[in-house]
Amino acid sequence: MNIQSKSAPILRWCMFQASSATSRVPTRVVAGLPSQKQRGASLSTTIGRRSSLVFGKGLSSSRARSTCTSVPKIRDLKVKAVQAEETVEETKEVISLPTSDESEELLRIRHTTAHVMAMAVQRLFKDAKCTIGPWIEKGFYYDFDYSEAFSDKDLKRIKKEMIKIINKKYELRREEVTREEARARIEAVNEPYKLELLDAIKEDPITIYHIGDEWWDLCAGPHVEDTGKLNGRAIELESVAGAYWRGDENKAMLQRIYGTAWESQEQLAAYKEQKLEAARRDHRKIGADLNLFSIQESVGGGLVFWHPKGAMVRHLIETFWKDLHLARGYDLIYSPHVAKLDLWKTSGHFDFYAENMFDQMQIEDENYQLKPMNCPFHIAVYKDGFYSYRDLPIRWAELGTVYRYERSGTMHGLFRVRGFTQDDAHIFCLPPQLTDEILGVLNLTEEILSTYGFTDYEINLSTRPEKSVGDDSIWEASEASLKEALERKGWAYEVDVGGGAFYGPKIDLKIKDAIGRKWQCSTIQVDFNLPERFQLEYKTSENDMAQPIMIHRAIFGSIERFFGILTENYAGDFPLWLAPVQIEILPISAKFEDYAQDVADKMKAKGIRAQASLLRVCVQ
């Protein structure tokens, strides 16, 4: 094919390549392209972790980095414990919080700023009722029950009042009271939501934080020493959104004021710049602009339509995933989308996961439900055979579509949907094989994620929670296997003590994108529960029957979510090997349209994704 002939029209070749992502190009995707790596810079920024309910017995579980035995604590700078008539000055521990890229001081600042905002709101709007107000990733929020909608003008007034509170340098004082005393105080100020929160607190004593002598809140802390530690010029109230009380659409609709707080103006400016860049990269906007996918409310919220260009990118992702799994010793399987209710009762989903499942449907006098997970189906395949120790490990992989009920207000583009495809795999192995199998999954995870430019990971090893199944020896051996695999891999990790699933320990992996945001993707979980529930067995070398260990693992998490992450990471500028259109041919006038189409057809025949953009309007 000679496209360089003198008689050929001028052609414009549009190569869509990502300028900032590191990508390994699979040679089979585009004919004639060699394997290579594209290298680029990634902007490192910080991200916080969301706490648990601010009011109550505590926030998140302790975490220790790598093999460290000490657990970092976030403490109040000054703590007062008040019990009965006696006041004692002390420096006792208040609460354990997860470590974070962001400083412990910054997390205290955000928590305190949320309280200062609530205090300012109740100064200005006397009828406003407070609910909860935690620090979150990049900032904080507080929910209020107030009859009139907060306006942009109101936010400016609130911010101005906050500055007044900050400038007064009010002391933050922690007080411990009895449950009865807390109830009496809450009733006296007519805060009904606080009463409900008080009832949810299981442990005594109850902790209250005071800002000066004017305002207080149920809270577990921690906070800065006084409001003067806050930098008013590094605080911004960003938006107001609706939020149901406790996330239940049957309960009151509240107004949630979001804000952000930093230690310096420079940090705030960097955050605002990143926020603008994130908005530019929003996969929902790019998906519409590039005609990649749609979610149509007329059909159903959270249900994704893949348009031709988006479907092509998905096809390339799935083909690469399947080929690599086959090359690494996995077999592919396919399973149904629905099953009888009995299966979900055996698996435990009926008892423990029902609220996340779609309603049952009746078919020929039997009840069925859409699957929320693939694992019981893989177990059904295992039970259909007979295996000896020589057959293990067995590795089965599936791109299986699952369905989960999400409230309409919680769905968000491709990141949270009702129907999605998990890149699931399950491994059935012997106890001595566990470490090597986990290491194999880690290697495969790195190989796949680095192909798409993700090489910066944050890893958590989550250990046995208080409520769990399985005996101590199984847990200890499994946790040791996960730890050994991570150390053999050479990856730094944090230990989330007590953060594992009830059925086994797990490894979770977050990736960092081009603008420094972190995304939860990969998970590796050891399961003692389902093999027991389904009575899975294999024949040992002594001709006895024993229970295999089961590993759940997903690398992308879901195709939909990963596609959204990719779109935002590349800002829609997909690398050449992943672009839905690799070459676009533009004829300079209508008389060259046939030739342009002929060139595009010949390129397609060679495996290149080309298209001719035919003129719709002649330019004179």
Alpha helices in 47-151 (DSSP H): 104-124
- What sign for the dihedral angle of Cα 451, 457, 463, 469? negative
Active-site residue identified among 130, 375, 429, 521: 375
| Tokens describing residue 296 | 């149509």
Q: Evaluate if residue 614 carries a pLDDT over 80.
A: no
Give the model's confidence band at 411: pLDDT under 50 very low, under 70 low, under 90 confident, else very high: confident
Pick the CATH number of 63-280 from 3.50.50.60, 3.30.230.10, 3.30.980.10, 2.30.30.90: 3.30.980.10
Task: Name residues whose C-beta falls within 8 Å of residue 381's C-beta, 6 or more positions apart in sequence.
Answer: 333, 335, 396
Q: What is the pLDDT of residue 247?
A: 81
In angstroms, rounded to a whole number, what is the distance separating the alpha carbons of residues 9 and 12? 10
Q: Of 20-29, 493-502, 514-523, 566-575, which gets the smallest average pLDDT?
A: 20-29
Our answer to whether residue 349 is catalytic in this structure is: no
- Of the candidates 507, 534, 329, 532, the one whose C-alpha atom is nearest the C-alpha of residue 425 is 329
Pick the CATH number of 287-336+371-570 from 3.30.930.10, 3.40.50.720, 3.40.50.1980, 3.40.220.10: 3.30.930.10
The label of the residue with tokens 């809270």 reads 219
Active-site residue identified among 210, 552, 561, 609: 552
Our answer to whether residue 573 is catalytic in this structure is: no
Q: What is the pLDDT of residue 474?
A: 86
Our answer to whether residue 375 is catalytic in this structure is: yes
pTM of the complete model = 0.75
DSSP 492-515: --EEETT-SBTTB-EEEEEEE-TT
**Contact between residue 211 and residue 66 where contact means Cβ atoms under 8 Å apart:** no
Active-site residue identified among 143, 424, 496, 513: 424
- Could you give the C-alpha distances from 367 to 84, 191, 355, in angstroms and in order? 58, 45, 16
pLDDT tens digits along 85-132: 332 232 222 222 333 456 889 999 999 999 999 999 999 999 999 999
Active-site residue identified among 63, 506, 553, 609: 506
In angstroms, rounded to a whole number, what is the distance separating the alpha carbons of residues 93 and 85? 22
Active-site residue identified among 404, 418, 483, 517: 404
Q: What is the pLDDT of residue 616?
A: 57
Active-site residue identified among 122, 267, 422, 525: 422
- Of the candidates 347, 345, 339, 335, the one whose C-alpha atom is nearest the C-alpha of residue 503 is 347
Our answer to whether residue 424 is catalytic in this structure is: yes
What are the sequence ranges of the domains in the chain? 63-280, 287-336+371-570, 338-370
In angstroms, rounded to a whole number, what is the distance separating the alpha carbons of residues 174 and 190? 21
Q: What is the pLDDT of residue 350?
A: 85
Q: What is the pLDDT of residue 55?
A: 26
pLDDT tens digits along 167-217: 999 999 999 999 999 999 999 999 999 999 999 998 899 999 999 999 999
Q: What is the pLDDT of residue 153?
A: 97
In angstroms, rounded to a whole number, what is the distance separating the alpha carbons of residues 375 and 368? 17
79 or 149, which is more confident: 149
- Of the candidates 285, 376, 303, the one whose C-alpha atom is nearest the C-alpha of residue 560 is 303
Our answer to whether residue 426 is catalytic in this structure is: yes
Q: Of 352-356, 607-611, 612-616, which gets the smallest average pLDDT?
A: 612-616
Task: Name residues whose C-beta falls within 8 Å of residue 478's C-beta, 6 or more positions apart in sequence.
Answer: 434, 504, 505, 526, 528, 549
Backbone angles phi, psi at 246, to 5 degrees: 60, 20
**Contact between residue 597 and residue 615 where contact means Cβ atoms under 8 Å apart:** no
In angstroms, rounded to a whole number, what is the distance separating the alpha carbons of residues 173 and 79? 7
